[in-house]
């Protein structure tokens, strides 16, 4: 005579933990893409047959069926990031260093502003410039509103003490006050040219 299984098995506990982990990801990445069996998908029907579909109004997650004949498999969760800002049209713009005139050509950096939906500059966001150039790692940041020579919400990130040439080796991202990335990484080039040692990069809402 068979006995009824306990409601919470180790498998169920693991699924609950994975759901909680997925919920944490969704807090940072608000868009969840469900996959219906009827839609085109690189996932075969053989894989889908190992799951039963549980739907809620906001999400679709595939859980393992509670059936001994169907092997236990992790559920499928696909998250798509929704970024808030994007590169402003027409930038980067390359100019001579007109702010740090005492340094002249002995300076190289990125500067600009991040604009909100009302067209006004947004303060308190951080800009991170990173990459590897000639074997040297670069990782420098600036805060919008701290460099008003470039506008009310201006930021500035100095990356070198003289101009150097690079082709797409550096990238810049915008982060909010919690340091959550709110733009895709934007790659840019630099030039060993004193007339192009200031790189203006602005961002606007998507």
Dump pLDDT digits (tens) for 66-85.
Answer: 555 554 444 444 445 579 99
Q: Which residue has the higher pLDDT, 120 or 11?
A: 120
Mean pLDDT confidence for 52-69:
46
Q: CA–CA separation, 1 vs 9, rounded Å?
A: 20
- 27 pLDDT more than 90: no
Domain with CATH 2.60.40.10 in the chain: 85-205
DSSP 84: S
Geometric angle at alpha carbon 190, from 177 and 133, rounded to 5°: 80
Backbone angles phi, psi at 13, to 5 degrees: -60, -40
Residues whose CB falls within 8 Å of the CB of residue 37, separated by 6 or more in sequence, listed in order: 45, 48, 53
Residues whose CB falls within 8 Å of the CB of residue 9, separated by 6 or more in sequence, listed in order: none
Token pair recorded at residue 100 = 């740090």
Lowest-confidence pick of 9-23, 64-78, 94-108, 164-178 = 64-78
Mean pLDDT confidence for 28-45:
42
Geometric angle at alpha carbon 187, from 139 and 81, rounded to 5°: 90
- Confidence class of residue 92 from pLDDT cuts 50, 70 and 90? very high
pLDDT number for residue 3 = 47
pLDDT number for residue 48 = 41
Q: How far is CA 41 from CA 45, 55, 65, 174, in A?
A: 9, 18, 20, 33
pLDDT number for residue 134 = 87
Q: CA–CA separation, 189 vs 164, rounded Å?
A: 10
Annotation: CATH topology of 85-205: Immunoglobulin-like (2.60.40)
Q: How many Cα neighbours within 13 Å face the side chain of 190? A: 26
Q: How far is CA 115 from CA 35, 145, 157, in A?
A: 35, 11, 17
- The model's pLDDT over 95-154, given as tens digits with 9 standing for 90+, comes to 999 999 999 999 999 999 999 999 999 999 999 999 999 889 999 999 999 999 999 999
Q: CA–CA separation, 15 vs 21, rounded Å?
A: 10
Q: How far is CA 97 from CA 15, 21, 143, in A?
A: 56, 47, 19
């Amino acid at each position: 005579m068979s006995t009824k299984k306990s409601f919470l098995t180790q498998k169920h506990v693991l699924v609950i933990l994975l759901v909680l982990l997925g919920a944490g990801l969704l807090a940072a990445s608000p868009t969840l893409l469900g996959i219906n069996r009827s839609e085109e998908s690189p996932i075969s029907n053989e894989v889908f047959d190992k799951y039963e579909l549980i739907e809620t109004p906001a999400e679709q997650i595939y859980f393992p069926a509670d059936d001994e004949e169907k092997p236990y498999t992790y559920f499928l969760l696909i998250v798509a990031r929704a970024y808030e800002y994007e590169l402003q049209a027409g930038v980067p713009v390359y100019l001579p260093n007109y702010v740090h005139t005492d340094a002249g050509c002995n300076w190289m950096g990125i500067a600009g502003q991040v604009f909100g939906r009302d067209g006004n500059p947004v303060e308190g966001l951080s800009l991170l410039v990173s990459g590897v150039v000639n074997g040297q790692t670069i990782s420098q940041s600036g805060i919008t509103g701290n460099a008003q020579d470039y506008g009310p919400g201006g930021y500035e990130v100095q990356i070198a003490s003289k101009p150097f040439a690079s082709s797409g080796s550096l990238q810049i991202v915008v982060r909010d006050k919690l340091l959550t990335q709110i733009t895709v990484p934007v790659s840019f080039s630099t030039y060993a040219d004193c007339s192009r040692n200031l790189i203006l990069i602005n961002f606007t809402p998507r």
